[in-house]
Chains A and B, each alone.
Chain A
Amino acid sequence: MFLLLPAVAFILVMYLYPFALSIIRSFTDETGGLSLANYYKAVSLYGRDILFSIQVAILGTLISTALSLALASYIRLSESRVARIINSLSRLGIFLPYVVVAQMMRSFLAPHGLLNVLLANMGLVDIDTPLQLFNIRGLTFGFLWKETPFITFIVLSGLQVIDDTYIEAARSVGAKTRHVILRILLPMIKPTIAIAVVLTFCTIVSTFTLPYMIVAGNPTTVTVDIAHRVTYFGDYRVASALGVFLYLIVGVMAVYYLRRTVREEVYGY
């Protein structure tokens, strides 16, 4: 019992206390009384941003998951050198911090940045009216750039555990590559995919740097609003109310994740 005390105390002081404090603060007005005023204010001022955050998280998670599944399946099934190179390159993004990615995206997605210039050279965009990407599109693109390698890495780890004989068994009964991927490989690693999706969703919802540096003006994400509220107004109560919205969004996914982990089916392949 005593041996557990340091660990329990650490969790209580470092995690649960600040968490509880921020929730209490979100329900407290200037006089210290219980109130929902912070929530009214948060919703009236930032309701659109809450929806924007959810929208970006869903969009970023869905697209990056789809891309990752395709990429990981290709790397798993192909024996070509190209697949090996893609595998190595795709891992680079995982180790870059978001602030570096944001910096890169600012120059890449700018009105006269590399992307617009490339598209203009291909005749797809008029450089005088370039694509405006410092909005949900650019932000989603930034998240895809960062999160796709991460999901690919996790999904590929799951795929590589699957013995080749499961694939060969499918081929021997007539399965083409798409059947092997969609009917055999991906269903076999459903729990792994679920975990990757949940982790990515939570990362996107809670990332501050990328939206802060990419999105010009409104709407923006809740994380930026929280920083704004604290930095410019010293308003911890509304910031805490916004934080609770973030907890709720992430909490739904976290509960799903925990239930999935507990119930995870061990196939034993």
Chain B
Amino acid sequence: MPEVKLERVTKRYGKVTAVDRLDLVVHDGEILTLLGPSGCGKTTTLRCIAGFIVPDEGRIFLGEEEVTRLPPEQRDIGFVFQNYALWPHMTVFQNLAFGLQLRRTPKEEIRERVREVLSLVRLSGMEDRYPRQLSGGQQQRVALARALVLRPRVLLLDEPLSNLDAKLREEMRFEIRELQRQLGITAIYVTHDQAEALVLSDRIAVLNEGRLVQLGTPEEIYQRPANRFVAGFIGLSSFIEARVVEVEVETAVLETEDGIRLRVPRNALAEGQAVTLAVRPEHVEVLEGSPADPENAFRVEVIRAAYLGDSIDCRLRLGKWELRTQLPPGRVPPPGEALWIRLPREKLILIPA
């Protein structure tokens, strides 16, 4: 399977730049997710790769071949649509066989390949059903099978799970991941759902306003977000603005404008530098009473708490800042109750302001 390469790809709609000088390489056999909020340019990028739209600038390569202006029917790609786009007048078999018929594949081979791919997506025996006779999950599988039956060079998936209910969506994430690994196919997956991206991807490309904001493995993106946007978009984060007031050998001290002092790893911080601290809910340690070790320990006030079954979602007030955390199930603390917490210095995410 070839790698996919985008070189300074730009697409404009009137005055709006949907994709802005995007450079990206998708490695052979990996699944890369384009992740971002609505209007960030992720679907436009995918459609450029598919050939449904031609970029205004830049070049697209599938392997060694430049395909920037090649029509979609000549690109040898498989595309799975958000609404599945199964042709309603054709049975499952006909939907899958259509592309093979266009390639003049012998009838016997068509039957064999359709049978094979249907068994791969666990839909054996559904050949004669019409799309309207299938559930949403089954339709989604047929759409995937239709893309895979042609053994395309690259598989493109445009929010394929967003029409499914939450439970099915969760199951299908693993199935798609498993299929992609099994077939070793290069895949590009578009979603706005960060959980989906974290589960599915070898690497994630986070887009915002048409630009690539960060590219990395799910762990890198979650643990070391490049900026406040990524920290806020991937997972939950609370933010604290501060300035470096002391730099020591291994640590540095930050102070917020309302006088809260936090010790953090020194990294490359310089005195006087402004930084944003991102605090993940799971990194807020709730202490039993007043702590012996005062480092990064604070008395906070509960703003509000909500019972979620397996945890309690809690918003806390620290000076002028709001922190979010999850408490183990049990008593729901009332608003105004005081708690002691610690923000362990090695868990704090430092983002240069």
Contacts and interface: CB of A to CB of B under 8 A. Distances in A.
Interface in B62-87: 71-73, 77-79, 81-83, 85-87
Interface string A145-186: 000000000000000000101101111111110010001100
Contact of B150 (A173, A176, A269): A173
Interface of A is mostly: helix
B321 interface: no
A174 to B, nearest CB: 5
B88 A170 contact: no
Max count, chain B CB within 10 A of own CB: residue among A163, A169, A171: A169
A59 interface: no
Contacts of B211: none
Interface residues of B, number: 25
A188 interface: yes
A183 to B, nearest CB: 7
A268 B81 CA distance: 16
Interface string A66-110: 000000000000000000000000000000000000000000000
Given A165-B81, A179-B102, A268-B132, A171 B87 contact: no
A172 B52 CA distance: 9
Contact of A175 (B77, B79, B81, B102): B102
Nearest to A188: B89
Contact of A184 (B52, B81, B87): B87
Nearest to A186: B89
Nearest to A190: B89
A76 B226 CA distance: 45
A190 B83 CA distance: 22
A188 B88 contact: yes
B50 interface: yes
Given A163-B83, A173-B102, A179-B102, A187 B78 contact: no
On chain A, which size bracket covers the interface? 20 to 34
B147 interface: yes
A232 interface: no
A169 B52 contact: no
Nearest to A267: B88
Contacts of B99: 173-175
Nearest to B51: A171
Contacts of A168: 50, 52, 72, 79, 81, 85
Given A179-B102, A183-B98, A172 B50 contact: yes
Nearest to B88: A267
A184 B89 CA distance: 8
Interface in B15-46: none
A165 B83 contact: yes
B77 A172 contact: yes
B146 interface: yes
Given A175-B98, A184-B87, A268-B132, A169 B79 contact: yes
Contacts of B85: 163, 165-166, 168-169
A155 B51 CA distance: 28
Interface of A: 163, 165-166, 168-176, 179, 183-184, 187-188, 190, 265, 267-269
Q: Which 8 A-B pairs have the closest CB atoms?
A: A173-B99, A267-B88, A165-B85, A169-B85, A172-B79, A171-B72, A174-B102, A187-B89
6 contacts: A166-B87, A169-B79, A169-B81, A170-B87, A172-B79, A176-B73
Given A168-B81, A169-B86, A267-B88, 10 more contacts: A165-B85, A169-B87, A169-B146, A170-B87, A173-B98, A173-B102, A174-B99, A174-B150, A179-B102, A184-B87
